[in-house]
Structure 1
Amino acid sequence: MMKRICSRVPSVLCGKQNMMICNGVTTTRSMFTCTNFLRAPPTELIKQLRAETDAPLGQVRKALEESDNDIKKAKEWLRQKGLQTAAKKSARSTQEGIIGIQQNGNERGVLFEVNSETDFVINSDVFKGVVDECLDVLVKSKFEKNEYSVEQDEQSFNQQVAENSALFENGVSIKQKFTELVAVLRENVKARRVKFINNIDSSSQLVGYLHNSKTSKIGGVGAFVIVKAAPNSTKTAEQLQSAGRQIAMHICGMGPNYLTKDQVPAEVLSHERELLIKRLEEQNMEEKKKAEEAGKEYKPKPQNILNMMIEGQLNKQFLADHVLLLQPWVLDQKMSVQQFLKEEGIEVVDFIRMKVGEGMAYQAKKSFAEEVAEQVGQK
């Protein structure tokens, strides 16, 4: 005869297996199996865990059930599930994003690009908070180089920036912060690149500007410029800051790649010359063909003239577009930036610029039906 173990909850038969479900007691008999009676998590614990993790309500309930209503264990359960979710989303294309900007006094500035699947996450306070934290540690940390990116050297970017656990005091890396952010936002978010600028001269002024800003630190295009007074100029720090802001705005809008012509790599100039030569050859062929069709004698241009044309077009088309000092001044197209600086008694020492998605190989966006089919296949 079987002895009664649980008085409050009667035994019941469950399904095809004979199971005795008792309150808090487990025992086995030849005919019945007793298991723990599952209780719904208390409402106050559900509210607390949801407020502290921002996880979906269903996952919060399940986390508490799986963790015997232990908040700490439930958080770890959610974190583990979040990491799994992030891993599934890590392959999704990140074509949107932001440029973060941070300045450490007059000494150092940083530009930081973070990409996302859509632009909706940019407005999330959680997203903004993580970007701010990353900017704060990046601008105060020392690195071997002034530029890191996934495209240039992914291994170096990961080791020095994304996976560097020494940046934060608690040993968490930037990559871990964004991986956990994916679990909250339900969208892939990745750090892509970072640039630094250092001002070693206290008489120079470091000035930053952010275009299309969402907050004081987040926008679409960011730039820093270091300016100083030209020889025999009496510009004050305030005047340098004012002029520097205008120049930083110009840099954001016009997108120069180099400060002077001398900074343009020889291989870049050689490549541009080859393109111009090919273009002139095609033009000469067309002129020759037209002359022959018209029954006229074709006289090719002398080589010295061709060389002058190539150098003229190189300066006018390529260098004037990519070299800051040679660009038309954005506030007065009749003068160059170099002419503006001369009139103002200012010199540009250095600059950096970053625009969202710059240089990224964009992929065609999937249709809604394709996205749904892809998500169903991941489950």
Structure 2
Amino acid sequence: MKRKFIILLSIFSFIGIIFTGCKRNKNDYNSVEISMCGSYYGDYNLNPYTSTKKLIAQQILLNIAKEYKSADDISNELSVNKIFIEDELMYLKKADLVKEYKGKFIAKGIIIGNEDKKTIKPFVHQIAEQISEIIIEELDSLKLAYNKCSFNEQGFTWEEMKSLFVYTQLLDLNLIDRGFLEHNIASGNPPIRKNLGEFFIHGIEGEPLEKYSVSHNICAIDSGGCAILFCNWNDKNLHPSKIRFSDDDLILLISLYNREKTERELIDECNLNEEDVQGSLKKLVKLGIISDKCNILKTVIPVYYSQDCQIMLKAFDNISAKIINKTCKPNLNSIKKLFYDCGFGENKEQYEAFEREIFVIIVNIATQILIEGNEIPSPPTQAPWIVWGWTGNIIWDE
């Protein structure tokens, strides 16, 4: 799946408000964490996070996750006035999150309920254990690849790079994106949603099955790019959708990949307005991506140069192939059975979203196992992200 210029948004919750006109207390209902994967370019008010902000919207999607239901059915089952249900359904339909057929509605996404989690949990933990064992066996091969790259010269040790390699580039970007696409696993394009974008929708009721959720904000231009890996959600203002890079930001950043420079040198070299340069630099310094000491600017993130890309990509591809052949492919039929065991059979159009979500959960749990087993470092505690850059075309976009 092509990901350049795409904001990848992973598990992010908006806790809703009390149902207006409800017969029940709001505590009788669980919130549903909604996530999307793909690209969104529509009206802000119709994006999946805004349109599912209300608890009533979340509960409607959960209620119609598996079968078509009328507004009357939903009203009776949720004990909510039919008028409010109809209003919310029309809003969700406008956001293309529900499908209507003969006056009945079904969710256009996979929403996993608490009962589903009981069925899914043993399966995903079993596969995650298998994946973590393969990665532990392959850490030495990753270290050999690291030793051939420029990261140590850049000032980044193996221990510092290990977590970036494993739960950023290997498990998330390489395995789920490149690897699955190559092996035709959960590799279909996200559904086109009218004039809103192309994206999968996932949701989970209550607590997630995994401790860590991984998400990327990937921004690129022809000469290179920058990616932010978000490991947790302590500060909702630091969600990927809140941090974006303009072309000017990237031009300045990529210019600093080569060597440290003064602000004046950047202005002259990049041919940008002085005020724009100062604004971009202030932003990049605040994010901890570049440092400004004694008027000398330099990047403080690891950068993949051309040779580094070739070396590490080969290592990632080899490990991903082992994971796919030993754990993913042998369990595809089991995942399909899980889909029907959970009762999603009437919503067959969402199978691909289900398959992808199950693998994302598995990968996140595998990350958790590796962290808790002290095989890789924990996510950063001072900031919820890890940042890395590259020169040339993005290495995952092949």
Q: TM-score range by the shorter chain?
A: under 0.3
* TM-score normalised by structure 1 residue count: 0.22
Structure scoring higher RCO (CA < 8 A, sep ≥ 6) equals: 2
Query: Normalization by structure 2: what TM-score?
Result: 0.21
| Bigger radius of gyration | 1
Tell me which protein shows more helix as a share of its residues.
2
